[in-house]
Chain A
């Protein structure tokens, strides 16, 4: 019914307008539908407050997107329907197949790749609007673009381009095509600041002169700055970077929404922008680092940080076997498992769940503890555990479980390191000082799976947990070690 109304409204409204294409203002029902789409997007995010309501939320999102797209097609697109349908089919098919096939451990890369596409799409839409402003209703028939629209367009293109090139670098780092180590250019802060100022200056100048070179230089500089901003940031800071780029992709959509006077885009842009900003904030807080210090980059690269503690003393540590670990955990009452990025790298989540199941059969109370920055994106570990069929009510956040280590018989650390380092609580000179960490030192026994004693965590600092009396080092590949523990448990 609504659609027929819409279809009836659109052509009727067109002749009354000075522009050859109807704009959103032509029929009151059109902006109303975009508003409905925007509200559905809000409900999509609201659904994520609990796993129980989350799938319904996702459906709301899909309905919202369908409404927005159909509304646009009916009011603008009927003339070129075959080409547009083809474009949607190609892109949609690609996206759908990728989404089905992608491994859950590769989710951070996928999200980074998706961000880059939003960014690039924003640039293209901005350029298209620049080339054909009359179709977008932002210029008179003389083709002179309204100054306000020029600012919105310029900013939209700039943010989109930064999102694109930044996300491409984040993707390459996360996917391992590029080293995760920070790349530090001399004088990079001056270069970055200068480029940003130049972009803003050009956007200002664009209001006076809509010459093609201005928009071309804005686009080019923005691509470059996105690249420069992300290369000095190290691999384990990627949760912040991915969140930040998420935020940017939102602001790019919002800027385009201003250009097009489209409420669905503005609401979505604001939602996504806030979402990414909040996630960045949560990640920074969980590392006790300021957003600025993360963005400035270089963390984990400074060799002097590791050597800061003076001459390294060889301290004694105990090595355990899979059989020892299995025996101790069988006897335990409470076991808390702390997974980290190493678990994802080793693809050990499935064998880890089997271990949990075997222990539960022995009457052991098993819980999983997840640090906010575990993994390479917010919530990464939760998804991996969910993939391995770990019930989500056995998985706990840092502040909910940290009090329970005193009652835990075993803290089982698999692929995590900095998030259990007590130096964060005691050593003021440590680069991770102040970061909230798990109180594993309170557990009766600590089992620490690690490839070798040589490596250190991302922060490049030694971990006192290795040398505690109650610590048993399990030196092996995480998956191999858990498999061996499972064999021993099954006996």
Chain B
């Protein structure tokens, strides 16, 4: 992909993000932060590439360390979001 295509994806995604985030109800702003935390750990993709690559031992270990950190975030972020969202209940109809 050339730079302009990537930039286009980025700019469009910023607009999508703008509208999607404004539609999030304020009551769920804490879960929003937790889940954005989890998904921003998609940086693990880069960590996996580095961790798997031959050619530089240091690079490989840096990558593996980054995989550990990002995994804390991915598993922790999704799990804590799930835990919070499970607590939001409607009034019981009696």
Contact = CB atoms under 8 A, between A and B. Distances in A.
B43 A380 contact: no
A55 B85 contact: yes
A114 B89 CA distance: 26
A271 B29 contact: no
A54 interface: yes
Contact size class for B? 35 or more
Nearest to B56: A132
Nearest to B1: A261
B57 to A, nearest CB: 9
Contacts of B14: 270, 273-274
A117 B69 contact: yes
Contacts of A380: 30
B44 A69 contact: yes
Given A21-B53, A25-B1, 15 more contacts: A20-B55, A21-B49, A45-B20, A52-B90, A54-B85, A84-B48, A91-B73, A95-B76, A95-B77, A266-B9, A269-B13, A270-B14, A272-B36, A279-B29, A279-B33
B39 A41 contact: yes
Closest 8 CB pairs of A and B: A91-B71, A95-B76, A379-B29, A274-B17, A135-B53, A270-B13, A128-B50, A378-B29
Interface in A41-61: 41-42, 44-46, 48-52, 54-55, 57-58, 61
A38 B84 CA distance: 23
B25 A80 contact: no
B71 A262 contact: no
B41 A386 contact: no
A96 B48 contact: no
Contacts of A383: 30-31, 84, 87
B51 A84 contact: yes
A135 B49 contact: yes
B30 A80 contact: no
17 contacts: A38-B13, A45-B21, A48-B31, A48-B32, A65-B38, A65-B74, A68-B44, A73-B48, A87-B65, A124-B66, A250-B40, A258-B6, A259-B46, A270-B11, A275-B33, A379-B31, A393-B91
